[in-house]
Amino acid sequence: MKLTKRILLVYIVSILAFFTACGEEEKIISLQKERAELIAKKDSLTKRKNELENSNQLLLISDTVKAGDGLFQVLSRMKVSESDRRALVLAIQDSVELSKMRVGQMFHVLLNQDGSVQTFRFAENPATIHLLFKSDSGYIYHRPDKKLTRKHSIFEGSLAQGSTLDGMLRSVGIPGRMVGVVSGVLQCKVAFQLAQPSDKFRILLEEAFFEDSVWIEGKVLFAEFDGKTVGHHEAFLYEDPDPKSSYNAHYTESGEALVFDGLRYPLDRLHVTSAYGSRIHPITGKRTVHHGIDYGSPKGTPVYAVAEGVVTVSGYDNLSGNKISIRHRDGSSSWYLHLHTRAVAKGAHVNTRQVIGRVGNTGRSTGPHLHFGFKDEKGRWMNPSKKTMIATPKLEGERLSRLKSQAKAIRESLTTTAAVTPQKVGDSEILVRSRTIQ
Ligand SMILES: [Zn+2]
């Protein structure tokens, strides 16, 4: 009996020993597994760390458009090299109306370690993003597709007592820029000071919205005013196949341009230091003809385009220093010399009052000033102060027949009625009819 007990005890101890040994082995296996996992994790973390370190070598710089900025200024502020600035402007200028850059719009550039631009991003608005990527053959332009909803809206009413057309259109929520277009176009024909209460008006707008509610852009397709004393006048938007054509404007149905484009001044403050004509040259001492007007102005003062046009010269020479010339619609050209910096490249389209450069003292010059010159349509220098208007074109031939068919489509759109929502303005009301066209 005692023996049996002992045998049983040995048996139990050896079974226990077996199980204990077995548990140890399992522990070792699981520890080894854990170690392998940790090594794998460490390797993947090291890999990620290297990736992050490499991506840290790309530098992201963001900036916003400030008053008077051109793309060139923004890019120089972002420390982009001059050759990259030129390449970027060249790659993007056909796709973006750089002259319409607005304060607050955002730019991002991703710089390589050597300071060259790898990626460039410009958000014109939430739906219009412009991207440029560096490739072996220069920068490649890409614009991601965002779907927009387009609407035609008709605003129809009559002038309320004591109201102006401007005021009434603003009060129903039409953006100020478009209200300005309506009155600018109509005032070529309508003497608004003679307008009377209950004179009738009708406006057709085409507007684009992102995600149905964010206003992206709009254009005035048609404006009409019918007054007891000022008469009945209509303005149609002509849209050329070339969106950059200077013919894109409002016309009467017979093709008469409704554009008031007087020549503006190239600077905000006008301090003439040398007038146009014969003078003793300050440096050579010889009597010469001064083919322009000199305006004394501190270095860095913004210089504006005096009228809309295309940049035909943007360069440097020893006499004129940094110079820019803009060819205007009627063939005349304006010239801006001795600039400190130039903000527009040859071939760019510029609008009236757009900043094209800064006052400087480059070339043969005795101090910071702007030499402003003007050539007539035959290329002869003329006194800039004698040029007051850029002649507006009348549509002819193919363009006139295109205008007629566009006017026909506009008239059709005017008769297509949708929901009518009258909005009260003073003692009058405006009927609003809207429909989605796309
Ligand atoms: Zn001069």
21 within domain boundaries: no
Tokens of 202: 């009708």
Tokens of 6: 């002992």
Average pLDDT (309-334) is 94
Question: What residues are paired with 293 via a beta bridge?
Answer: 372
> What is the pLDDT at residue 97?
72
What is the Å distance from ligand 1's center to 348 Cα? Answer: 25
Q: Rounded to an integer, what distance in angstroms lies between the CA atom of residue 95 and that of residue 144? A: 13
Q: Rounded to an integer, what distance in angstroms lies between the CA atom of residue 111 and that of residue 99? A: 25
12 within domain boundaries: no
Both 379 and 402 in one domain: the answer is no
Both 73 and 103 in one domain: the answer is yes
CB 205 within 8 A of CB 153: yes
What is the Å distance from ligand 1's center to 371 Cα? Answer: 4
Both 71 and 124 in one domain: the answer is yes
* Residue found under tokens 């209950």: 198
pLDDT at 393 over 70: no
What is the Å distance from ligand 1's center to 296 Cα? Answer: 10
374 within domain boundaries: yes
What is the Å distance from ligand 1's center to 231 Cα? Answer: 48
Q: Rounded to an integer, what distance in angstroms lies between the CA atom of residue 254 and that of residue 233? A: 12
Between residues 181 and 246, the one the model is more confident about = 181
Q: Rounded to an integer, what distance in angstroms lies between the CA atom of residue 125 and that of residue 137? A: 29
Band (301; pLDDT cuts 50, 70, 90): very high
What is the Å distance from ligand 1's center to 274 Cα? Answer: 7
What is the Å distance from ligand 1's center to 290 Cα? Answer: 6
Average pLDDT (127-155) is 87
By C-alpha distance, which of 112, 105, 113 is closest to 133? 112
Tokens of 425: 């303005």
Q: What stretches of 373-416 show up as alpha helix (H) in DSSP? A: 397-415
25 within domain boundaries: no
51 within domain boundaries: no
Both 161 and 249 in one domain: the answer is yes
Supply angle C-alpha 240, 246, 250, rounded to 5: 70
Tokens of 57: 């070598």
What is the Å distance from ligand 1's center to 284 Cα? Answer: 13
pLDDT at 24 over 80: no
DSSP secondary structure of 323-363: EEEEEETTS-EEEEEEEEEE---TT-EE-TT-EEEEEB--S
CB 224 within 8 A of CB 202: yes
What is the Å distance from ligand 1's center to 273 Cα? Answer: 9
Among 142, 176, 204, the domain-final residue is 142
Long-range contacts, stretch 28-31, CB < 8 angstroms, 24+ apart:
none
By C-alpha distance, which of 310, 320, 398 is closest to 354? 310
Q: What is the distance between the terminal CA atoms of the chain, rounded to a whole angstrom?
A: 102
Band (317; pLDDT cuts 50, 70, 90): very high
> What is the pLDDT at residue 310?
94
> Beta-strand (E) ranges in 136-271?
138-142, 148-158, 200-210, 214-227, 231-238, 249-251
Supply angle C-alpha 353, 358, 363, rounded to 5: 130
Both 286 and 318 in one domain: the answer is yes
344 within domain boundaries: yes
CB 69 within 8 A of CB 104: no
CB 372 within 8 A of CB 384: yes
243 within domain boundaries: yes
Question: What residues are paired with 411 via a beta bridge?
Answer: none
Q: Rounded to an integer, what distance in angstroms lies between the CA atom of residue 197 and that of residue 49? A: 73
Average pLDDT (79-97) is 83
pLDDT at 334 over 80: yes
Backbone torsions φ then ψ of 343, nearest 5 degrees: -110, 0
What is the Å distance from ligand 1's center to 68 Cα? Answer: 24
- C-alpha gyration radius of the chain: 35
What is the Å distance from ligand 1's center to 10 Cα? Answer: 118
> What is the pLDDT at residue 104?
81
> What is the pLDDT at residue 295?
92
What is the Å distance from ligand 1's center to 325 Cα? Answer: 15
CB 323 within 8 A of CB 303: no
pLDDT at 21 over 60: no
Q: Is 403 helix (H, G, I), strand (E, B) or coil?
A: helix
Tokens of 58: 């790309």
Band (249; pLDDT cuts 50, 70, 90): confident
**CATH number for the domain harbouring residue 325:** 2.70.70.10
Both 213 and 156 in one domain: the answer is yes
46 within domain boundaries: no
361-399: string of b/e by CB count within 10 Å (b at 16+)?
ebbebeebbbbbbbbeeeeeebebeebeebebbebeeeb
Number of domains in the chain: 3
What is the Å distance from ligand 1's center to 293 Cα? Answer: 6
Q: Which domain holds residue 87?
A: 59-142
What is the Å distance from ligand 1's center to 315 Cα? Answer: 17
pLDDT at 410 over 60: yes
Backbone torsions φ then ψ of 121, nearest 5 degrees: -135, 130
CB 301 within 8 A of CB 290: no
pTM attached to this predicted model: 0.56
What is the Å distance from ligand 1's center to 277 Cα? Answer: 10
Both 207 and 293 in one domain: the answer is no
DSSP secondary structure of 227-244: ETTTEEEEEEEE--SSTT
What is the Å distance from ligand 1's center to 364 Cα? Answer: 10
Both 94 and 79 in one domain: the answer is yes
Computed over every residue of the chain, the mean pLDDT equals 85
Q: Rounded to an integer, what distance in angstroms lies between the CA atom of residue 397 and that of residue 129? A: 37
DSSP state of 377: T
What is the Å distance from ligand 1's center to 281 Cα? Answer: 9
Band (111; pLDDT cuts 50, 70, 90): confident
What is the Å distance from ligand 1's center to 377 Cα? Answer: 21
